[in-house]
Structure formats: structure tokens, C-alpha cells
């Protein structure tokens, strides 16, 4: 009896424990069958939007402005061996890469515009279905109101049906109004200014050197020979200083262009990075985010095409940035050439002026010796005044002749 009594006490506990386990098993099974919150809520990474047409044209206009400035400087810079045909071709290749980037971005925008057009078509179909649903809802409300007057016995039930039909009709009308406003907004955004490729073609017409490589071979300024005479040296020194100022402005513009192009290249690389990550995830498991296989394949193809278009943008951007950096480094060397020639011109001018001053010093020393000799050896006041007057005339004439012959004999031809 003593052994049966503990077993009798444990039996209800065992039955209760079995019931708890049996109740918890379906909950665990349903929890195992339910998708993981992390997997179910994992969003598909959306591709970053492309740049707007205004931004594309702004970048292209910036490169063209820099190219025009570079051509003007290469045509007007004074100096021997500063610019050559290779420098002109480097600037031409740089603006050509800018046009390649603009065309690639136009292709990317065209693809996104096509995708937006497909979405707009789907919204148009949805709008037609909503319009049909609104008309059907209006008929249902009218029918129920007619029954409400004809069947007073069912008034309570019919009033509930009328209220439900009116609420559904109001909701459909609100959705229809939203779709109409959305289509109106999209139609206002699209216009003749969106034809980006034609605007790029029009801008390229302003750079005929891109069509004819030999058109710009005579851009560089011809190297002038060494200046002769003080006046020629002064003119050359002033021209070199003007060239140095123009080169400095071009160097500042080139550095700004390098900064902007590198920012655009960095943004393009950042845009392709999440696309590559998503492509790798879809290649590993097409249905890893809970999507159906056809939807996953469609997303994979769309992202792959977009990545190809982004690569077509990134490659010429890298080349454009490399050309701009090389041109900026070359500008530093050209500034050194201008500084060296300016120093040489300044030295030549100094030597030339030293010669003039030496000749004038000889004349004034001779005049001083003349005065000392007159004061020591001539005692007659009349003769002394005459000789001193003659001394002043001779010194003045000799100094004037030195200056006249020095500047007029080497005056640059007009």
C-alpha cells in the first residue's frame, strides 16, 4: 500500500506534463514551418538612382569649358617648348572621354525611363480597373438604396450593406484620384528637354576636333626667338608673366576638374557595389529572400544589365580622371619652364641695362675729369666758363646718343 500511494500521487503529475508537451509540440511545429522573421523581412536592395539629365549635362559642360580654356592658353602662351601636339591630344582625349561618359549615362537613363514607362503602363491598367470598380460600386449603392425603400423588413441589414458599399466606393475613388495625380505629375516631368542624347550631339558639334583629329594641330603658339635689345626683353618679360598667370588659372581649373571627376567616379563605383552584392546573393541562392524563381530571375537580369551600363560609365570616368591628373602634373612642369625663361629674360635685361649704365658712367666720369682739369689748369674766368659750358653740352649729347643708339638700333620691327 505504501508503494502504490506515491505512484497514485505521481500519475496526475505525469498526465499534466504529457498534456503540456503535447500542446507545445504543435506550436514548435508551426514555428518551424513559419519563415524566419529575418528572412521574411529581408528587403531587396534597390539599385541607386542614376544622375539626372541636368547633372549629366553640367558635367559635360564643365569639361567643355575646361577644354576651351586649355586651347586658349595653349594658343597664347609665350615660351619655347611649353606646349606640343601631344599636350593638345591629351586635352582632346579628355573631353572625348567626357562625351563617352555622358553617352553611357544617357543609355542608363534611357533604360530607367523604359522601366518607368512599363510601370506607368501597369498603373494605367490599374487605373482602368479602378474606374470599372468605381462604376460597379456606384451601381451597387444605387441598387441597395432601391432595395432599402422596397424591403423595409430588411432595413437594418440593408443599411449595413449600403454603408459597406459606400465605404468601398469612397476608398476606390481615393485610390483613383491618387493614380490620376501621379500620372499628371509624371506627364509634367517628361518633355522635350529630356532628350539627352540629342543635346549631347549638339554639344559635340561645338568640338569639331573630335571628328577630325588633324583640325587642332596648329593650336600651340609658335615659339618666339630670343628677344634683342632692352625693349624686346621688357616685352618678352611682360608676355612671360601674362603666360604664367594664364597657366596658373588653367592649373586651378584642372585641379577642380580632377576633383569633380574623381567624385563622380567614386559615386559610380559606390552605385555598382550594392548591385554586385545583390547579384552574388542571387547567384548563390535565387530564392533566398522568399521570392519566386521567375521574379528572382527577372531581378537578376535587370540588375546585371544595370551593372553593365554602370561599368560603361565607370571605365571612361577613370580614364578621364587619369588624363586630368596627368595634365595637372604637366602644368606644374610648364610653369617651371615659364619661370626659367622669365628668369633668363630678367637676367638678359639686367645685363643690357648694366651695359647702358656702364656707358653713362664712363661719360659722367669723363665729364668729372674735365671739370677737375678746367678748375686746376684754367685760370681765366671767361675761358673757364666757356669750357664748363662745352662740358655740359658734350656730356648731355653723349648720354643722349648712347640712349638713342641703344634703343633705336634694336627696336623690334613693327
| Nearest-angstrom CA–CA distance, 371 and 388 | 7
What is the reported pLDDT for 408?
67
How many residues belong to the chain?
Answer: 414
Cell numbers linked to 97:
572621354
List the end-to-end C-alpha distance of the chain, in Å, as a whole number: 141
* 53 contacts 303 by C-beta, under 8 angstroms: no
Angle between helices 85-150 and 196-204 (to 10 degrees): 160
Q: For the beta carbon of residue 203, count every other beta carbon within 10 angstroms.
A: 17
pLDDT tens digit at each of 414 positions of the chain? 444 444 444 444 444 444 444 444 344 434 343 443 333 334 344 455 668 888 899 999 999 999 999 888 888 775 555 677 788 888 899 999 999 999 999 888 888 776 555 556 566 677 778 888 888 888 888 887 787 777 777 778 878 887 888 888 888 888 878 877 776 766 655 544 457 888 888 888 888 888 765 555 544 444 455 555 667 777 778 888 888 888 888 889 999 999 999 998 898 888 888 888 888 888 888 877 777 888 888 888 888 888 888 888 889 999 999 999 998 888 888 888 788 888 887 887 788 788 888 888 999 999 899 989 988 888 888 888 898 899 899 999 988 888 887 776 554 444
What is the reported pLDDT for 116?
58
* 316 contacts 256 by C-beta, under 8 angstroms: no
Cβ contacts of residue 146 below 8 Å, gap of 6+?
A: none
What is the reported pLDDT for 66?
93
What is the reported pLDDT for 228?
57
Cβ contacts of residue 70 below 8 Å, gap of 6+?
A: 91, 250, 254, 327
Find where cell 594641330 sits.
217
What is the reported pLDDT for 63?
92
CA dihedral 392, 395, 398, 402 (to 10 degrees): -130
> Is the overall model pTM greater than 0.75, yes or no?
no
Domain boundaries, the chain: 1-34, 109-204, 354-408
If DSSP states are collapsed to H, E and C, what string results for the chain? CCCHHHHHHHHHHHHHHHHHHHHHHHHHHHHHHCCCHHHHCCCCCCCCCCCCHHHHHHHHHHHHHHHHHHHHHHHHCCCCCCCCHHHHHHHHHHHHHHHHHHHHHHHHHHHHHHHHHHHHHHHHHHHHHHHHHHHHHHHHHHHHHHHHHHCHHHHHHHHHHHHHHHHHHHHHHHHHHHHHHHHHHHHHHCCHHHCHHHHHHHHHCCCHHHCCHHHHCCCCCCCCCCCCHHHHHHHHHHHHHHHHHHHHHHHHHHHHHHHHHHHHHHHHHHHHHHHHHHHHHHHHCCCCCCCCHHHHHHHHHHHHHHHHHHHHHHHHHHHHHHHHHHHHHHHHHHHHHHHHHHHHHHHHHHHHHHHHHHHHHHHHHHHHHHHHHHHHHCCCHHHHHHHHHHHHHHHHHHHHHHHHHHHHCCCCCC
What is the reported pLDDT for 99?
92
| Nearest-angstrom CA–CA distance, 164 and 265 | 57
| Nearest-angstrom CA–CA distance, 124 and 231 | 79
Burial zone of 24 (CB within 10 Å; 0-12 exposed, 13-18 middle, 19+ buried):
exposed
Amino acid at each position: 500500500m505504501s508503494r502504490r500511494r506515491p505512484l497514485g500521487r505521481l500519475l496526475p503529475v505525469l498526465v499534466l506534463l504529457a498534456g503540456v508537451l503535447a500542446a507545445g509540440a504543435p506550436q514548435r511545429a508551426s514555428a518551424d514551418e513559419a519563415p524566419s522573421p529575418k528572412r521574411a523581412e529581408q528587403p531587396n536592395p534597390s539599385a541607386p538612382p542614376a544622375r539626372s539629365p541636368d547633372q549629366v549635362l553640367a558635367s559635360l559642360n564643365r569639361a567643355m569649358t575646361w577644354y576651351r580654356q586649355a586651347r586658349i592658353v595653349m594658343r597664347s602662351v609665350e615660351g619655347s617648348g611649353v606646349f606640343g601636339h601631344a599636350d593638345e591630344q591629351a586635352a582632346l582625349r579628355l573631353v572625348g572621354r567626357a562625351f563617352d561618359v555622358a553617352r553611357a549615362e544617357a543609355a542608363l537613363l534611357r533604360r530607367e525611363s523604359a522601366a518607368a514607362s512599363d510601370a506607368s503602363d501597369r498603373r494605367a491598367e490599374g487605373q482602368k480597373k479602378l474606374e470599372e470598380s468605381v462604376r460597379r460600386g456606384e451601381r451597387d449603392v444605387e441598387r441597395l438604396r432601391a432595395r432599402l425603400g422596397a424591403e423595409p423588413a430588411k432595413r437594418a441589414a440593408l443599411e449595413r450593406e449600403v454603408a459597406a458599399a459606400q465605404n468601398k466606393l469612397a476608398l476606390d475613388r481615393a485610390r483613383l484620384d491618387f493614380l490620376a495625380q501621379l500620372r499628371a505629375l509624371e506627364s509634367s516631368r517628361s518633355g522635350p528637354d529630356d532628350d539627352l542624347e540629342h543635346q549631347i550631339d549638339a554639344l559635340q558639334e561645338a568640338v569639331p576636333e573630335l571628328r577630325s583629329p588633324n583640325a587642332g594641330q596648329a593650336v600651340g603658339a609658335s615659339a618666339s626667338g630670343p628677344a634683342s635689345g632692352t625693349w624686346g626683353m621688357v616685352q618678352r618679360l611682360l608676355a612671360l608673366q601674362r603666360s604664367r598667370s594664364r597657366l596658373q588659372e588653367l592649373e586651378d581649373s584642372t585641379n577642380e576638374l580632377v576633383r569633380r571627376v574623381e567624385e563622380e567616379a567614386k559615386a559610380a563605383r559606390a552605385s555598382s557595389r550594392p548591385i554586385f552584392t545583390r547579384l552574388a546573393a542571387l547567384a548563390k541562392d535565387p530564392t533566398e529572400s522568399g521570392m519566386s524563381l521567375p521574379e528572382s530571375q527577372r531581378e537578376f537580369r535587370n540588375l546585371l544589365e544595370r551593372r553593365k551600363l554602370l561599368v560603361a560609365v565607370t571605365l571612361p570616368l577613370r580614364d578621364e580622371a587619369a588624363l586630368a591628373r596627368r595634365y595637372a602634373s604637366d602644368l606644374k612642369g610648364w610653369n617651371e619652364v615659364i619661370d626659367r625663361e622669365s628668369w633668363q629674360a630678367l637676367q638678359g635685361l639686367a645685363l643690357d641695362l648694366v651695359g647702358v649704365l656702364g656707358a653713362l658712367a664712363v661719360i659722367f666720369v669723363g665729364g668729372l675729369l674735365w671739370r677737375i682739369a678746367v678748375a686746376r689748369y684754367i685760370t681765366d674766368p671767361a675761358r673757364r666758363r666757356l669750357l664748363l659750358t662745352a662740358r655740359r653740352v658734350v656730356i648731355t649729347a653723349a648720354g643722349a646718343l648712347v640712349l638713342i643708339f641703344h634703343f633705336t638700333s634694336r627696336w623690334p620691327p613693327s
